Structure 1
Amino acid sequence: MDPQTQQNAAENSRDPIPTSVVVDIHSLTSEDTDLKLLRETAGSESCCIVRIPHSLARINPIAYEPKIVSIGPYHHGKEHLKMAQQHKRRFLKFLVAKMQEKGTNPQELINAVSTLEGDIRGSYSEDLGLESEELVEMMVLDGCFILTLFLVVSGKVVYTNLDDPIFRMPWILPSIRADLLLLENQVPYVLLQALFETSNLVTSSCLNELAFEFFDSSSWTTHYKNQKPKKLHFRGIKFKPRMNTDSILDIRFRNGVLHIPPVVMDDFTATVFLNCVVFEQLYADSSNHITSYVAFMACLINEESDAAFLSERRILENYFGTEEEVSRFYKSIGKDVALDLERSYLAKVFEGVNEYSSKGFHVHCAEFVHTHFDSPWTFASSFAALLLLMFAALQVFFAAYSYFKPPKDK
């Protein structure tokens, strides 16, 4: 094939160039009615409830996910949060009854929210895709749920259902508090203010005061500090297995010695611990002994080296797996446990260990010993330095002595 023929064949094989392109410019500028995500007002000052950017959410997704209750539209309808919807309706029923006792028409709650529909929609960065009735129903349920929590926890309103799990089970209320602080799990403050004023149940306090009281950290479950056993050991606390006891719960602290009964850590023990902790968390009238014990051990066993330290002292007998698996078990269970430290049978032990390891001459002595005499090499170097210091001191002494009291000539 000659060059001219090849060139003609190549040109014929190319895609034909369209003679005209028909695109309506107005169709590009019109909104897509089937898909509305980011609102035009998402950057305005009134928009205060936004989605977490995916680039941040993927770092730790569970940090932004509610565990008990969904508030607002972003997490509404998720399977693990549906049970809380029953509690919302029960709280609304209670609030309506209280309003009727005061002669207030509860229908005013609906009216108050309806007038705020535009402000509510403008508070969210995304288009909600909800009809007016759906939005008003959601806001009334969620807003009245929060308002009832504020009123009951502050003591402004007496809640008559003494068996309500939200107030009976020790782990639920702290979890709800945490859920209400999540950025995506919110309703506009203007909604809460409108519901508070419409309910007319409290006139002696403002909504801000009730909110601050509800979220006051001093009223939350007491937190316990993680104390590594090696760190405690370096601060003068000794660890000894407590042999003469019938229960692994019988932990004692006396005169700087922590007596812990030996525990066999295996699959059976782990299963018993997990089920007992759940039982104590769910039943308000039960003791919290197992929860206290597990929380105490979780404070001690936070790393692989912690499990090894307790194993060396015959406190932990490990058939569960590697020492890393033991530490991971206690770390995971201790993280999700709600413990009222004041009700714990180990409260005095927690207090004694923290106080003993934080101050006192024994702390400085123990730190000095472990810093300079913890291993044969540090002991040898410290001992050599001490000998050199002694020889230098003796040399200075004899030099000064010979100067002030020179030998007498015979």
Structure 2
Amino acid sequence: MEMVGGIQIFDGEGYEIWSKKMKTLFLSLDLWDLVQHGYEEEGFEENSMIRLRECKIKDAKCLLIIQQGVSNSIFPVIMEAKKSKEAWDAITNKFYMQSLNLVEIDDNETATTRIDQIVSKSRTVYPDERCIFRIPYSLRNGNEKFYEPTVLAIGPYHRGKPRLDSMEEHKIRYLQELLKRTDEQSVDRYVKAVMPEIEKVRKYYVEHIDGVSSDELIQMMVLDGCFIIEFFRRFEMRQNKVKDDDPVVYSDILLLALRKDLLLLENQIPFFILEILFNTINMAHFRMKLKPMILVFFVKRFGNEGWTSKDHDKLFSKNVSHLMDFTHKIACFGFSESSPASSSSNTQNCFFVNSATKLEEANVTLKASLKTKSMFNITFSEGELQIPSFVVDDSSEVEIRNFLAFELCQQAALQRPFCDFAVFMDHLVMSSDDVVLLMRRGIINNNMIDVESVDTMFKRLTNSILVPDPYIYKDISIGLKKYCGRPWNRWSASLKQKYFNSPWAFISFLAASMLLGLTVTQTVFSIISYKVTN
């Protein structure tokens, strides 16, 4: 490789050495994050046009460096790239596999040798520990906005995106104030606590993060972990009316955005890191333990404020992989313990429910279940379908989509409540009329703009979900199908719909019945009178 202006020229040979040197160059210019993650223009607000312009200039500089770093024979690979990330990815995709062959391979060597060499250089996979997933393409394609953070990057997947820079300043401020509150001058204790676990951290991520050095990963874990802990502590103080001038916790708009970002599947760090950092900080500086403190933030959204202390103890005793996993356990708590086991046979032929309006036409009573520990506790008995009341708003689709992805990515999920619930509701809500009916019955509390948005949301949620197996609502679906198939229930519902759907219809029916009764009585008396006369 030749050198031009201090930049090594890549000619197709020695990709691994060239890429490491280029990465060091970009790091020295504080441009590596931009090359690695790129930027999206729609991520900048109207009042951030100056920052967007600066970002474009930096990206053009990165693209120029990459262009200068390849020979004329390699340049066609990146000729169409408009951004530095596109150019970098194009080179990586073409030459990365070749870089796995660290030894020259003669033309006469067999394919077996080539494959063995590639396998020997590949990273070992730890399937039992991998729990921080990348969203599968089938779910992500065209729906990126539901899976990417809007204000806060946690962990390595979305690190360095320009639109998330402002929250990085809050992370540093939180850490400074934490050190001040605990009378510490340095983060040395936190770094030493996290450092021995850093290889274990790598095993938690499904996507390889070998491009992140150990020092970078330690810094990431300490900054992100301390921010999360301090954020939950400050929110708990706000709930208890403790005065604090923090602009993050006291901004309702920012709180809403943070709640969504903290529940993104790709935006996680291992929970054991949070526990290590929490235990390293003196407990005297907290009013609550870690899991109860987190529960304060999420309980109104996913939990039940009527839980007993025994419920709390059972919830807190569960093993947790990351923050989203803990929130999933909060949402499912009280359901998995009480739900009956479902048979996995013939799930493909399972009787799915009719729409809400058709169920009422078949004399099924729809009722909101208020006294339940879980939103998934749907029951059907003696013609009454009880569904726990739940809120639908602008955050619902982001949250449900990420919970669906989490359940689908797990290798051995015994139950998938969010997947099953989404399928059940998709059949129950076939049109905006069904949404209106469920709203009238108190089952759906709609905080969205219009009812059609709710109908559309449930349709989109199940686009890439196969029929669940096992399906936890199978018995309910079969019971509803049998009930709706009975002729008497259809006739009874038709009678109610025609003659008892309004006071005037009822009065008309009553008047007609009285008139019919009087006519019959008159006829009977006429017959009797005729017989007596004769």
TM-score, normalised to structure 2's length? Answer: 0.39
TM-score, normalised to structure 1's length? Answer: 0.49
Larger radius of gyration: 1
